[in-house]
Chain A
């Protein structure tokens, strides 16, 4: 099953670093990894897919090398592109599942709408400081990302830097959810939000009721429509 699956890892940063490595090591058939950045020294505290050798290189090329080294049986497709309303349809061609490794609200809205439109599940993860959250948004059941995080979302992460293990823990949870979703086993995070508070080391899982006010999943999607 895993070997027949094609996964998009949207972003080769702190979250995408870990999730892409776990998925490659697990034997996912094809990993399409998308990012338009280059590796910078400030990335290396958490983006452990990359090392000092990769500084200044495209993240997706650095990623492809490391992932192929982990498991040569995986087809890794590096795509240096910004994820936008205009590029997402092309990026999602042939994809079975989306792993969120993005670092901002707007790109997640692009993923959310495209996933709803095409009927794909996507596994949300977000981190800041010592904290993080994760959920699984499925076209089969509400709520969607924008139910829980209504627009306009925060423009950028206002918190302090991200400590590596916070990204690592959330990406690990996302990876576990991905394997379960592909194999159709266990109880996923659909309709639930997992939150990690690293500073006081608490993990909460809460229920997400559908949001009748959601303008994205609550009515027919119009391509390119803005909240």
Chain B
């Protein structure tokens, strides 16, 4: 199915949780932040939130320099 990942259209397998999606894109940053449709998702919820068609998902690496 189609989602918008970091502003770019991606075709991903159906039935993925956020945890699965992180694995699928091979994102390894332990401090990764995730937003779904403009709402921040806490890591505790990654297993419970399912990716749906046309979701706009942002995978974010924190910026903590100054």
Judge whether A154 and B58 touch: CB under 8 Å.
no
Stretch of B13-21, B35-43, B47-55 that contacts chain A: B35-43
- By the criterion CB–CB under 8 Å, are A103 and B44 in contact? no
Stretch in A58-66, A124-132, A176-184 touching the partner:
A124-132
In whole Å, how far is A68's beta carbon from the nearest beta carbon of chain B?
Answer: 23
Task: Classify chain B's interface size.
Answer: 10 to 19
Cβ of B40 and Cβ of A154 under 8 Å apart? no
Give complex CA distance A103, B62 in Å.
12
Contact partner, A126, options B42, B58, B63, Cβ 8 Å: B63
Which A residues between 122 and 172 are near B, CB-CB below 8 angstroms? 125-129, 131-133, 147-150, 153-154, 157, 159, 162, 167
A-B contact count (CB 8 A): 84
Determine whether the beta carbon of B38 is less than 8 Å from that of A205. Answer: yes
**Is the beta-carbon distance between B40 and A200 smaller than 8 angstroms?**
no
* Contact status B40-A193, CB under 8 Å: yes
Contact assessment for A133 and B63 in the assembled complex, using a CB-CB cutoff below 8 Å: yes
Q: CA A154 – CA B58 in complex, angstroms?
A: 19
Tell me whether A207 and B64 are in contact in the complex, defined as CB-CB below 8 angstroms, given that A150-B43, A202-B7 are known contacts.
Answer: no
For the complex of A and B, the 6 pairs showing the least CB-CB separation, nearest first, are: A103-B66, A157-B65, A126-B63, A128-B63, A126-B64, A128-B65
B-binding residues in A (CB < 8 A): 11, 13-16, 100-105, 108, 125-129, 131-133, 147-150, 153-154, 157, 159, 162, 167, 193, 195, 197, 200, 202, 204-209, 211, 213
Q: List 22 A-B contacts (CB under 8 A).
A: A101-B66, A103-B64, A126-B62, A126-B63, A126-B64, A126-B66, A133-B62, A133-B63, A149-B64, A154-B31, A157-B63, A157-B64, A159-B65, A167-B66, A195-B60, A204-B38, A205-B38, A206-B35, A206-B38, A209-B39, A209-B40, A209-B42
